[in-house]
Amino acid sequence: MSALESSSWKVTYPPSLDFGQQLTHEQLYNSMQSTMSRHQGGPVWLFAYGSLIWRPECNSVERQRARVHGYHRGLYLWSHEHRGTPETPGLVFGLDRGGSCSGFAYRLDESNLDDSLMALWQREMPYPAYRPHWLNCRLGDGSKVQALGFVLERHLPCYAGNLPDTLLSQILASAKGRYGTTRDYVEQTLNALRSHQMPDRNLEARFRRCHKLREV
């Protein structure tokens, strides 16, 4: 694929990516333990904003609609394996600073919590692209909980940021990795949100704009 450059955004596609070394099992375990040491006690909740909505990883005993403030969902993380390749990177969702985000909160099963958390870390943190963080989360029943979420690290090369529509439309049309295309990933997330009456209207509008660009 030829490089596509936006002079206003100074973005070149495909980018030169360096995800670094995959985390070892020991590093994953240490990250998990460090994160859990900051938990304030009580049930462990997980906030799902992307594929965890429609393909959850952990055993849970309760699920509620939820919203976090101070972070929003965006296609801001390059994917060189799951939804793209090094030659044609795709994108996946992450939580970035500002705004708010709707999703689901899962109350994790305490009986096998360590196994569930390790499975989650192996899925979300094979590379240190995210920062595990305890989010202030309001549940559908009005209560507030501390929920585990994975937020983006802006300083890393895998952070794509808010790309222009012209580039995003190209990625949606071409990027495909081990688990399918970026486009399918986005559509599954949009469909899941829509089916639970909490559509992401900004993302819906952007997806429609990119689809029209491909038709021109």
Q: Which is nearest to 150 in space by CA: 168, 126, 171?
A: 126
45-48/144-152 β-pairing? parallel
Residue 215 among the catalytic residues: no
Tell me the torsion sign for CA atoms 66, 177, 26, 71.
negative
Question: Which position among 57, 62, 124, 204 bears the catalytic label?
Answer: 124
Q: Report the run of H or E that residue 54 belongs to, with start and end.
A: helix 51-54
Residue 137 and residue 145 in contact, taking contact as beta carbons nearer than 8 Å: yes
Active site residues: 124
